[in-house]
Amino acid sequence: MLTQSTSASANHVNPAPAAVRAGQFGSLAMHPGIVVTEYSYKRGEEIYGEDEPADYVYQVVSGAVRTYKLLNDGRRQIGSFHLPGDMFGLESASIHRLTAEAIVETTVRLVKRRNLEALAGTDVSVAHRLWTMTASDLRHAEDHMLLLGRKTALERVATFLLEMDRRLAVAGMMALPMCRRDIGDYLGLTLETISRTLSQLHSQGILEFSGARQIVLRNRTRLANMES
């Protein structure tokens, strides 16, 4: 735990600029010694790599991020998609366990991990918050293991659509930032299976397209029954 106090203890004098979607992250800007920076990444750009030092913790401001692991021959498993408001890159160890990449042009807010940890060392509520965030990632991973190990293609796609609808639908429509291959690598399927399954749901009138990535769910109940 470093008790460093960087430049920005001035931050509590000039508090939280542009804290629109700030949530958890924004409130941190109130603490002296916590510097919040913004950075943008181009579509496809790597934010950090697997096994690299975990020096920063991130929050998506706009855009979308995928975090994934690779096997030596290129097979990829995406662990999660991070959408505006989501935090990612938080590790209790000093190394990132997955690679993070911008799916589209993406802006993130970031803070130094060692500053966060130092704060957690003096402020129990911050320590509790870090734990809670990691526990919520674990909860998602546990649900996803059930999906990957035991659900059918149709059940996986139904689960995916409901998750995305909940997380990014605006006025009943979701604009998916990721391609079919990303969805496949998230659900443990191929891009062709994703495409076929979406077509099937479309032909059953459960969803409507306006372009391949703009989807409206027409019958959430029926979809929820398919989740199994």
Partner DNA sequence: CGTCGCTTTGATCTAAATCAAGTTGAGTGG
Partner DNA sequence: CCACTCAACTTGATTTAGATCAAAGCGACG
Query: 127, 153, 191, 224: which one contacts its own copies (CB under 8 A)?
Result: 127
In terms of C-beta density within 10 A (0-12 exposed, 13-18 middle, 19 or more buried), how is residue 133 classed? middle
Query: 42, 43, 128, 166: which one contacts its own copies (CB under 8 A)?
Result: 128
- Contact between 228 and its own copies by CB under 8 A: the answer reads yes
- Contact between 105 and its own copies by CB under 8 A: the answer reads no
Q: Choose from DNA, its own copies, none: what does 198 bind? Cβ within 5-8 Å by kind.
A: DNA
- Contact between 98 and DNA by CB under 7 A: the answer reads no
Helix axes 153-168, 124-150, angle to 10 degrees: 150
Tell me the C-alpha distance between 17 and 143, whole Å: 36
Residues contacting residue 77 through CB under 8 Å, at least 6 positions apart:
68, 69, 185, 186, 188
Tell me the C-alpha distance between 201 and 156, whole Å: 13
- Contact between 213 and DNA by CB under 7 A: the answer reads yes
- Residue closer to its own copies (CB basis): 43 or 97: 97
Query: 19, 148, 162, 216: which one contacts its own copies (CB under 8 A)?
Result: 148
Query: Collapsing DSSP states into helix, strand and coil, what is residue 84?
Result: coil
Instruction: From 4-12, 118-126, 172-180, 216-224, give the range in contact with its own copies by CB under 8 A.
Output: 118-126
Instruction: From 24-32, 80-88, 123-131, 196-204, give the range in contact with DNA by CB under 7 A.
Output: 196-204
- Contact between 71 and its own copies by CB under 8 A: the answer reads yes
Q: Are 88 and 108 in contact (CB under 8 A)?
A: no
The torsion defined by the Cα of 137, 61, 179 and 146, in degrees rounded to 10, comes to: 10
- Contact between 212 and DNA by CB under 7 A: the answer reads yes
